[in-house]
Amino acid sequence: MIKIRNITKIYKNGDNETPALRGVSFTIKDGEFVAIMGPSGSGKSTLMHILGALDTPSSGTYFLDGHDVSTLSDDELADIRRDRIGFVFQSFNLLSRATALRNVTLPLIYAEVPETERIKRAHTALSSAGLEEDRYNHKSNQLSGGQIQRVAIARALVNNPSLILADEPTGNLDSQTGDIVLGTFQKLNKELSRTIILITHEREVAEHADRIIYIKDGKIIEDGNGHDKRIITHAKNKA
């Protein structure tokens, strides 16, 4: 599903060049649940923007569902974001005075999906995300943090994307609520075979995924699960 090869990203400011990614390569199969983890400044946010078609690499290739995303125009990148990627953010990015149902139907309105179909698909997405049905017509500012994030997950699901990209989705939640939200991602992955990439700086969050890619200083230094890490560079194996 996802194949990136020798991705680099260099930010330029006059004569100064700052490398954010240094030859990153990996493959993610359809239906995998992968966490990309790293400290602040590691390059994980830059990598997230490239995976989400929000930015393009300086060099290298990125294939999503067979399409070379690294060569697309701005309009083509917008189409990829709309049709193939569902985003879940730390800050939720919902309309506070709109209902849960309205927030989830908004992407379908922009896609000019008929109203009856919009409502049907929004109900399905909210149910899959685990929001109680009696909360569908509550406004976002009337919901708890965990409920709001479930609405955000439903909004990411509603266009039936190939990939769900979750950027620090538990960052604004307490640990108990965060575990519930992470359990929702696990359910979506196991029961609906959704491909999920989780971006985080926390090991305990990353361990909810089946595979952890650890990035530091713009390079991948570990790739594997909690029991079988493959060391990519000369980083010390702490196992």
Residue 236 lies in a domain: no
- Residue 172: phi and psi, rounded to 5, are -105, 15
In a domain, 101, yes or no: yes
In a domain, 151, yes or no: yes
Within a domain: residue 237?
A: no
Q: Which domain holds residue 187?
A: 2-231
The pLDDT assigned to 90 comes to 86
Model confidence, pTM = 0.87
Question: Per residue of the chain (239 residues), what is the pLDDT tens digit?
Answer: 899 999 999 999 888 999 999 999 999 999 999 999 999 999 999 999 999 999 999 999 999 998 899 888 899 999 899 889 999 988 888 998 999 999 999 989 888 899 999 999 999 999 999 999 999 999 999 999 999 999 999 999 999 998 999 999 998 899 999 999 999 999 999 988 999 999 999 999 999 999 999 999 999 999 987 444 444 443 333 33
Is residue 6 domain-resident? yes
183 assigned to some structural domain = yes
pLDDT score at 233: 40
